[in-house]
Structure 1
């Protein structure tokens, strides 16, 4: 088997990442050598590869689904928004510029060449490459310089499957509208539809699928049922609720529930750090944007952010700074991760990200932070509570610790902890030890479940995605597209054709 496929979507969060990961796992289980690819990703949720490259976290998850190591070629262009107007551009795993939308547009022809080179490289090393689009292929205002959807499909001769989220409503209109807005050349690549997040009896959907096929001359390639509770590594904040929608089942010995409030920062990044807490039996994770939502928390988490100084100002505007100070003064546990750790410092000197200069931090940890031009990208390994801990670092801020107790290359002072390490809570022994200490400080009779394995839970989710494709998609048709490429003779459907 040899070939490639592009999975596009009618909208953001339609299910492109899920379908791409599912196809990767389904093929990997058949012994096919397969790799994921996303030419351009816009996300604050990223990961560091073994050789120190930063890529979208979704592509790292898809690589895990394919049972291979993630690498920069799988996501050659990553955009990390710092505001509504500007983003950091990461190319082949390294930051190269901070640009506005119009400036970035001028870079796209060169970035398309890089993306095509990476795709060709992957296709030379793997039997199959499953590509994921970005946003919608029908963003006609951006088509002339598109590098992730139909621009990539045409340049690389890829067949395209479009995924639509029926749970949002209007799936048939969005699918037909997507096709109708494409040029004749682009339409030639669009080969079929996948309906995602369906609830109910698929027989009730069949008349609509039949009519869609008649109108578009493209077949339905699957109806995927809603799978709640997957908690997969999302690209953006659209799926944040999925991390915290599970009622806790109680600790290992039926003791009290441990309540965790996570501050939902405006430019929240790497929110997958919370995933391991949310899947721990007996831990209730909630998002917080108001001081009163911290009042009964046994642990408050300040997560990562792409805009430390701006989000710190937001924190103060809402009175969350006083609430955090009050909780810490009373001995209640507070954990800061990466940008959240930087906020807990005495001072922040930022001439790089916000260019705000010297800014007072929350003053809850004996740390002074200075932003460096070079970004730290690393996969550190250390020890805490007698447990081995592996994590990853993505930050410009460099923390100079002036006291307290060393903790994961960060510091602990009293009931406040801070670290630059993402992913630390995914280490089972460390997570349980940390939760035991939190419970003691909070006066809770909480006992972590001794056999909870986060890696096994993630693997089980990826298998569920493979099952989703195997059981509910037209796998024979998908194989024909992968091996046969762009189908011949697909009719052009002009706007308003019905």
Structure 2
């Protein structure tokens, strides 16, 4: 929590939920947004001081521009943090968007003198072409500011990092892993459908208030897997016959469920599941799959679910926020490859989910496939819902589901470190750390 002590979860275009040190703070959420910084800064500063005391190097990532003059008085995520830590700062621009030198100079010029003194280097990111053609721009910029350009980073497609701020599709994307398509006759999982004729297709429903979407990046890195964000039935139909449909987490489950129905995606998902297609719901997605959402405390709203799992979710006042390690029990159908695998992840949700008692009495049973209500499977075996985020970051899960060696985020970060080492001026980062 100290790594990200303050989290804003957008619930509407003009309203955000404030999460401070992992806990929802209703008072701060109601507060006028410019007034929050005075209340939250002491907590942010304490978390930063503790990390600085415990570690030799702390890397601090800003958010947005550090020089937005309309936000400067209440900005606590950029230069105020840098000044507090007396940090050596690099100012990075996206040259692919154009106007990079103007962006760097304009940002530097709008900083206070004390803030300008913290800027030790400029970085040009996403450059395409011959870097020598940039001259004499970097030297002219240094003459104006006294700050050198310390790196020009080439455009790197399909690097394997999750997108930072939202879903992103240049085109239907195939994974960029360490091997090619699965061998002839391979299956998506033990007992799953054959992949002989084409690569597996995974559709992730991209509702407006989607959350924790970076956990699906490992799927995009799986060799031969096609992952597509879907916002309408026509986009889903355009994929042909998807092997999976995933309902991800949501910052506002009932609102996103209403959006899903307005698009007609509820019927498309039900049709897919009715034909035996695989459906996976994670956290808010699990809650949507059930029969009903019950909200006695006004947390998220009451409403009917999609009816694909015979479970009911009741929202609690308290929010569950914790790391978890748990093992799947025996699963059936496409998910059978996950049986007995222990996975690590995290929970961050309101509400508890349990079987629908009347449906269970009538023989429509939700099968618990993880302890303590963490995961449920339907009787047919094609619909699975779980509360645990981060499952796809476990190489054992990807191996069990796809039968292929798959790049992990650790290997992606190692590759990024090598890339940075290649393109920064020699010794720059070491000198800043020293």
* TM-score category, normalised to shorter length: 0.7 to 0.9
Mark the CA change 1:243 to 1:158 in structure 2 (over 3 Å): closer, same or farther.
farther
- Map of 2:250 onto structure 1: 305
Instruction: Give deviations 1:5-40, integer Å, cap 9, x for gaps.
Output: xxxxxxxxxxxxxxxxxxxxxxxxxxxxxxxxxxxx
SS in structure 1 at match of 2:32: helix
- Map of 1:396 onto structure 2: 350
| Distance (Å, rounded) in 2 between the aligned partners of 1:99 and 1:113 | 14
Q: Mean Cα displacement is larger for which, 422-431 or 207-216?
A: 422-431
- Once the two structures are TM-superposed, the CA of residue 219 in structure 1 deviates from its matched residue by 0.8
TM-score, L = length of structure 2: 0.84
- Map of 1:372 onto structure 2: 316
- Once the two structures are TM-superposed, the CA of residue 119 in structure 1 deviates from its matched residue by 2.0
Residue from 413, 416, 425 that aligns with 2:383 = 416
Instruction: Give deviations 1:32-80, integer Å, cap 9, x for gaps.
Output: xxxxxxxxxxxxxxxxxxxxxxxxxxxxxxxxxxxxxxxx222222222
Residue from 295, 298, 303 that aligns with 1:350 = 295
Mark the CA change 1:280 to 1:156 in structure 2 (over 3 Å): closer, same or farther.
closer
Aligned residues, how many?
394
Residue from 105, 109, 112 that aligns with 1:180 = 109
Whether the aligned pair in 2 keeps the contact of 1:380 and 1:391 (CA below 8 Å) is: yes
| Distance (Å, rounded) in 2 between the aligned partners of 1:117 and 1:270 | 26
| Distance (Å, rounded) in 1 between the aligned partners of 2:132 and 2:278 | 52
Structure 2 matches for 1:459-474, cutoff 5 A? 459-474=410-425
- Once the two structures are TM-superposed, the CA of residue 355 in structure 1 deviates from its matched residue by 4.5
| Distance (Å, rounded) in 2 between the aligned partners of 1:429 and 1:159 | 39
SS in structure 2 at match of 1:127: coil
| Distance (Å, rounded) in 2 between the aligned partners of 1:472 and 1:353 | 52
Whether the aligned pair in 1 keeps the contact of 2:205 and 2:245 (CA below 8 Å) is: yes
The CA RMSD measured in Å over matched residues stands at 2.3
- Map of 1:274 onto structure 2: 216
Q: Does 1:382 align with 2:330?
A: no
Mark the CA change 1:467 to 1:430 in structure 2 (over 3 Å): closer, same or farther.
closer
5+ residue gaps, structure 2, are 186-195, 330-338, 357-364
TM-score, L = length of structure 1: 0.74
Whether the aligned pair in 2 keeps the contact of 1:263 and 1:303 (CA below 8 Å) is: yes
Runs of 4 or more consecutive aligned structure 1 residues displaced over 6 Å after TM superposition: none
Mark the CA change 1:99 to 1:73 in structure 2 (over 3 Å): closer, same or farther.
closer
| Distance (Å, rounded) in 2 between the aligned partners of 1:164 and 1:376 | 38
- Map of 2:119 onto structure 1: 190
- Map of 1:48 onto structure 2: none
Q: Does 1:125 align with 2:19?
A: no
SS in structure 2 at match of 1:407: strand
Whether the aligned pair in 2 keeps the contact of 1:252 and 1:449 (CA below 8 Å) is: no
Whether the aligned pair in 2 keeps the contact of 1:411 and 1:419 (CA below 8 Å) is: yes
| Distance (Å, rounded) in 1 between the aligned partners of 2:369 and 2:171 | 26
Instruction: Give deviations 1:332-363, integer Å, cap 9, x for gaps.
Output: 1111111111111111123557543x211111
| Distance (Å, rounded) in 1 between the aligned partners of 2:66 and 2:349 | 32
SS in structure 1 at match of 2:427: helix
Q: Of the two structures, which has the highest relative contact order with CA contacts closer than 8 Å and spacing of 6 or more?
A: 1
Residue from 239, 248, 252 that aligns with 2:183 = 252
- Once the two structures are TM-superposed, the CA of residue 468 in structure 1 deviates from its matched residue by 2.2
Q: Does 1:241 align with 2:169?
A: yes
Residue from 301, 304, 321 that aligns with 1:360 = 304
Mark the CA change 1:149 to 1:110 in structure 2 (over 3 Å): closer, same or farther.
same
- Once the two structures are TM-superposed, the CA of residue 394 in structure 1 deviates from its matched residue by 1.1
Residue from 198, 205, 210 that aligns with 1:263 = 205
- Map of 1:108 onto structure 2: 37
- Map of 2:368 onto structure 1: 406
